Amino acid sequence: MANVIIIGAQWGDEGKGKITDLLSRSADVVVRSQGGVNAGHTVVVQEQTFKLHLIPSGILYPETECIIGSGTVIDPEVLLEEIDQLKKLSISCDNLYISQTAHVTMPYHRLIDKASEERRGKYKLGTTGRGIGPTYADKAERTGIRIVDLIGKEKSIEKIKWTINYKNVILENLYHLKPMDPEVVIAQYLEYAEVLRPYVIDSSLKIDQAVRQKKNILFEGAQGTLLDLDHGTYPYVTSSNPIAGGACVGAGVGPTIIDRVIGVAKAYTTRVGEGPFPTELEGEIGELLCDRGAEFGTTTGRRRRCGWFDAVMGRYAVRINGLDCLAITKLDVLDTLEEIKVCVGYSIDGNNSNDFPTDPEALAKSQPIYETLPGWQQSTADCLSLEDLPKLALDYLKFLAEQLEVPIAIVSVGASRGQTIIIEDPIHGPKRALLDVNREPQ
């Protein structure tokens, strides 16, 4: 039995969906613990692409139970669309469960999100406009609507009506938008509630039962470490906690049940939206990474900013999350490069540092200190083991492991399931990975 957290070790979009999908074959339960429809996980199976926003990637395995935890914010319309899409592809959702205490993204959240972002002007954050921030804001303000409210009785309906009227004051007077008709919104969302009702459970209790039955549980993160509300590059962050500690809060479990934390990182770095990005490449190489890596957001379709691997940021992710192994994705994107750079430190106002600055002004001024490694200039797309990799590609991976002082358990060399080198299964394998700085691959 193993309980494993998968988190993004960069700014999100690291390929967590594929890694979760791969590890789900060894998991009995997969739990989504935070975020909302602003997250997008892409999984490619036998040339068929699945794009999931709310439903855990483990849904592609019919025996795996998939739980959307209380820390996730749920847009019922999008969730039902995902369920319908999966059913049309003959993917069963019989093992899908939704926390009754998860908060609901309402239509006014989307309106406020877009209007607020527009009003920020040059201070815009680059949000997805899907209403995630306002949903979490209502949660903190204690005016949020939860799943249990939607499936509740008359008292809950009155609460929802009051909330919509309250939001109408903001829509009309602050953003000069048309008010929403409470009756229309309530009628629509009650329809959603009836369809979702069979999936609704006490998710924390169900997870606890799985723990007591010694099942393998995978906690699936959304976004990435540097987008964490408390520990990311604030204010250019998401509205939840995508770090490992957030998985426990959002799922409703204690940290003592966690056995391992695996961080997912690309072999280079990307970021969507605004905010500082020390290793960003704006020229030919940045375009090459974007084109070869198909770096367009699953949720928004926005082009991602690309740059070299940032080991300073990587070490920060190791510390914040307590990572004990890594999954490196998109190694194949680097196949054609003559040389590859890795940021090993920052120069800030003439002073060198190996630590990631939490002061946003310091980060904005950080200049990367690079080490340059030779590229392997041959395809890795068909490599099935470490022995198949070009020596220089293996050297590159070892260098990353050395810089982050964390071993590598998985290497992805393409989008499909088969294009993956699993050095160690973090669920069933021993608590150490084989690609370590002091050991040769076996």
One of 28, 41, 310, 436 is an active-site residue; which one? 41
| E strands, 20-167, in order | 29-32, 41-45, 48-52, 65-68, 73-74, 96-99, 103-104
The closest of 252, 404, 269, 247 to 324, measured between CA atoms, is 404
Cis check for the bond before 235: say yes or no (omega within 30 of 0): yes
141, containing H or E segment: helix 132-141
Which residues, at least 6 apart from 24, have a Cβ–Cβ distance to it below 8 Å?
A: 30, 56, 57, 58, 60, 61, 64, 218
Q: Which two tokens stand for residue 438?
A: 């002091």
d(CA 92, CA 428): 26
Q: Which two tokens stand for residue 212?
A: 């007591």
Distance between the two ends of the chain, CA-based, in angstroms? Answer: 24
The yes-or-no answer on residue 41 being catalytic is yes
**Pairing of the two strands 260-266 and 65-68:** unpaired
Cα 430–9–442 angle (5° rounding)?
35
| E strands, 119-202, in order | 200-201
CB 72 within 8 A of CB 251: no
The yes-or-no answer on residue 208 being catalytic is no
Catalytic residues: 13, 41
